[in-house]
Amino acid sequence: MKIGLLTSGGDCPGLNAVIRGAVLKGVISHDTEFVGFRNGWRGVVERDIIPITRHDVRGLAKTGGTILGSSRTNPFEGEGGGPENIQRMLDEEGIDAIIAIGGEGTLTAARRLHDEGGIKVLGVPKTIDNDLAATDYSFGFDTAVQIATEAIDRLRTTADSHGRCMVLEVMGRHVGWIALHSGMAGGAHAILIPEQPQSIEQICEWVESVRDRGRAPLVVVAEGFTLPGMTEAHSHKGLDAFNRPRLGGIADVLAPLIEERTGIESRSTVLGHIQRGGEPTAYDRVLATRLGMAAIEAAYAHAWGSMVTLRGTDIKTVSIAEATGSLNRVPQDRYDEAKILFG
């Protein structure tokens, strides 16, 4: 079997570990031939293909980013886009199947290609946001949480030195998992997530409570958080290739409001793409490797249209439709658990 690998959407730590796990499993267990599509679905549409050998993946598990490159290209657009053109390209190149490593946008496109054109495709869940349903955790999330937690630790010392309120914005799109985990780990005094809108009055009440105890308030906010009256998450960066708004900047909105209402000097920090960079944690290296290996077994089981997933500590296979049909949101009980620590 000849399999094409691609990494699409926003990059995250652990992508290279998936590639390594898949290639080693395929070569050792099945004598599989591998190629890579460069820059995600763009490489599929533009037929930008490179060979991948066992030598090419040597030592990749610890390396951040992706050796294949990534993009947010929509595979249904462009001269070579759409199921018919893609299937013709695969036939001409002798490629039997595609393993798409990506998040919500990538896997939704993979599902459409399979459902509408019969493309033999498998998915591997990748997102630092941990927003994909049907998997307990996705690789990249643990690393992002660790990076955000280190940022909280650093902000705390400068906040204490000046008696300031610090508002740290983390990624997550429309879910608050990074904010919840990093906020709890770093001892944040308030955690603001999309699933739980809070009024500016409540936020300021928490901030003032911290100030009254002689501490410097530290607020962690997910980029998709909204205040009452906001009809959508804050965005001033336009749309991506899938017509989704590029979120970011809510911390810059909140900090002046907090300072105006409490009189506490406040500063905002948007962590941004730092969360995507650097070496993956040990947990993400192991999870990514296991998912890559499992994807090869799914290919030889002809489980097309499926995604490998983590359930508890076991790797399972589910339909891509199940994974992309809804978001993995922070449940009420998890937020209530953290809320005890606010203020």
- Asked whether the beta carbons of 144 and 178 are under 8 A apart, the reply is yes
Q: Is 273 annotated as a binding residue?
A: yes
* 272 marked as binding residue: no
**According to the annotation, is 164 in a ligand binding site?**
yes
Write phi, then psi, for 100 (nearest 5 degrees): -100, 120
Is 67 labelled a binding residue?
Answer: no
Q: 208: annotated binding-site residue?
A: no
Q: Tell me, yes or no, if 129 is annotated catalytic.
A: yes
Residue 284 in marked binding region: no
SS (H, E, C) 102-134: ECHHHHHHHHHHHHHHCCCEEEEEECCCCCECC
128 labelled ligand-binding: yes
Dihedral in degrees, nearest 10, Cα atoms 93, 94, 98, 99: -110
46 and 14 Cβ atoms separated by less than 8 Å: no
Considering the candidates 48, 91, 96, 129, report the single residue annotated as catalytic: 129
Sign of CA dihedral 257, 261, 262, 263: positive
What is d(CA 105, CA 192) in angstroms, rounded to the nearest whole number?
25
Nearest to 219 by CA among 278, 277, 264: 264
Annotated binding-site residue? 176: no
Query: 170, exposed or middle or buried, with CB in 10 Å at 0-12, 13-18, 19+?
Result: buried
Q: Is 58 annotated as a binding residue?
A: no
- 47 marked ligand binding residue: no
Annotated ligand binding at 173? The verdict is yes
Find out whether 87 is annotated in a ligand binding site. Answer: no
Q: Counting runs of H as helices and runs of E as strands, what totals does the chain give?
A: 11, 11
CA distance 317 to 125: 11
Check the annotation: does 112 bind a ligand. no
**292 in a labelled binding site:** no
Q: Is 236 exposed, middle or buried (0-12, 13-18, 19+ CB in 10 A)?
A: exposed
Ligand-binding annotation for 311, yes or no, is no
**Known binding positions for substrate:** 127-129, 164, 171-173, 223, 267, 273-276
**Known binding positions for ATP:** 10, 72-73, 103-106
**Known binding positions for Mg(2+):** 104
Catalytic residues: 129
**Known binding positions:** 10, 72-73, 103-106, 127-129, 164, 171-173, 223, 267, 273-276
